Amino acid sequence: MLRVIKRTALHMIKAAGVFGLVRDSEWRQRRLLILCYHGISQQDEHLWRPALYLEPKRLEQRLKMLKDGGYAVLPFGEAVHRLYENDLPPRSVAITFDDGTYDFYKHGYPLLKSYGFPVTVYQTTYYTDYSRPIFNLICSYMLWKRRGSIVDAGKELGLDSPLDLTTSHSRFLVERQLVQNALRDNLDGKKKDEIAAGLAKLLNIDYCELVSRRMLQLMNPTEVAELATQGVDFELHTHRHRTPQDELLFRKEISDNRKRIQEITGSIALHFCYPSGVYAVPFLDWLKAERVISATTCDAGLATAQTEKLLLPRVVDVSGRTPIEFESWLTGAGSLLAFRRKAAQKYAPPTD
């Protein structure tokens, strides 16, 4: 009900001319909107994880709105530089994709290219060299595919009780057990893949078909290199998609990630995105020590010249966001009208 009221209010505000006034204001010109995307559905991933996946047609709708609205879509590095030089053009936007999944290569980049828009990909690199599905994601996806059922236990997978897949919470508990077992047993990528294949067999899912379609896989080095030659900007997202609370481990994630990106693309990555948007105050000094210029979060908002460079906000675009809601963020009206969650929504306090 609240969302319906909000959308109705946005339509009324737009009809009153507020969107246009904010969009063309000096206030908006001093601000940068950084859009965040994750995956583009190859099949039904947007139904499984609507907060992470968009259908290709939905992404194209967004890109058309950017073009038709006359927004200045800038390369990310240029956008950040011009933000802090107070030199942004009107209606400035930068587009970022997290993780570097294969579906970006297949669906996302071709659409961006057709509109002539630059893009930055925050590439996590461990699974880039391991052309198999990401373990926790493929387990979650397959469990979702059999939602509503109860499956006999798979003792060979370390699951002693029947798999209750009737609710999202019960499926999460099964997924968590699989992931925790893999961590406990210190399984490598090959062993994890064997567990995923065993789960698929238990659920009567064709795992080979999922693998052949590159479902929930990252781009491989050849694909990353190809897109880099076409102008895609690849930046830091940690090597193993994690942010350890230990400084040495954290900095190793950055250095390993940067090294692999440079080996593949020939470029030195200097911008960073916090995996899952989770950050802690000590991370800022560690990032500075690794010569990182900027870091983006998943906290919604527009960036200004007063924004901490290592805590840049982004608007995470999701399947459930309507065109009027998306337009409100493009114009800047959405930032003014948003019911803000606490700024520390993704803040991870340091542990003793």
Residue type, 65: M
**113 and 28 within one domain:** yes
53, β-bridge pairs: 39
**98 and 25 within one domain:** yes
In the predicted model, what is the mean pLDDT of residues 198-218?
95
In the predicted model, what is the mean pLDDT of residues 151-172?
88
pLDDT, the chain, mean: 93
Residue 289 domain boundaries? 2-129+220-337
Give, as one character, the DSSP assignment of residue 146: T
**Final residue before a domain boundary, out of 170, 191, 212:** 212
In the predicted model, what is the mean pLDDT of residues 215-230?
98
pLDDT score recorded for residue 159: 84
Q: Is residue 282 part of a domain?
A: yes
Q: Cα–Cα distance between 259 and 320 in angstroms, integer?
A: 37
Q: Is residue 166 part of a domain?
A: yes
- Classified as helix, coil or strand, 157 is helix
Is the pLDDT score of 256 beyond 70? yes
Q: Is there a contact between 236 and 246 (Cβ–Cβ < 8 Å)? A: no
**242 and 122 within one domain:** yes
- Identify the band that residue 352 occupies on the pLDDT scale cut at 50, 70 and 90: very low
**323 and 206 within one domain:** no
pLDDT score recorded for residue 4: 82
Strand runs (DSSP E) across the chain, as ranges?
Answer: 33-37, 39-40, 53-54, 72-73, 92-99, 120-123, 150-151, 163-164, 233-236, 271-273, 294-296, 315-316
**167 and 190 within one domain:** yes
pLDDT score recorded for residue 346: 53
CA distances from 351 to 240, 281, 284, 348 (A): 21, 11, 16, 9
**189 and 52 within one domain:** no
Tell me the per-residue pLDDT of 65-93, one tens digit each, with 9 for 90 and over. 999 999 999 999 999 999 999 999 999 99
In the predicted model, what is the mean pLDDT of residues 280-306?
97
In the predicted model, what is the mean pLDDT of residues 285-308?
97
Is the pLDDT score of 342 beyond 60? no
Is the pLDDT score of 340 beyond 70? no
**245 and 185 within one domain:** no
pLDDT score recorded for residue 268: 98
pLDDT score recorded for residue 274: 97
**185 and 45 within one domain:** no
Is the pLDDT score of 350 beyond 50? no
**Final residue before a domain boundary, out of 212, 228, 261:** 212
Q: Is residue 171 part of a domain?
A: yes
**245 and 108 within one domain:** yes
Tell me the per-residue pLDDT of 12-62, one tens digit each, with 9 for 90 and over. 999 999 999 999 999 999 999 999 999 999 999 999 999 999 999 999 999
CATH number at residue 61: 3.20.20.370
Number of domains the chain is built from: 2
β 33-37/315-316 pair status: parallel
Is the pLDDT score of 347 beyond 60? no
Q: Is residue 349 part of a domain?
A: no
CA angle 45, 347, 36 (to 5 degrees): 35
In the predicted model, what is the mean pLDDT of residues 167-175?
95
**224 and 99 within one domain:** yes
**316 and 249 within one domain:** yes
Q: Is residue 226 part of a domain?
A: yes
pLDDT score recorded for residue 261: 98
In the predicted model, what is the mean pLDDT of residues 134-159?
91
**9 and 120 within one domain:** yes
Is the pLDDT score of 201 beyond 70? yes
**Final residue before a domain boundary, out of 181, 212, 243:** 212
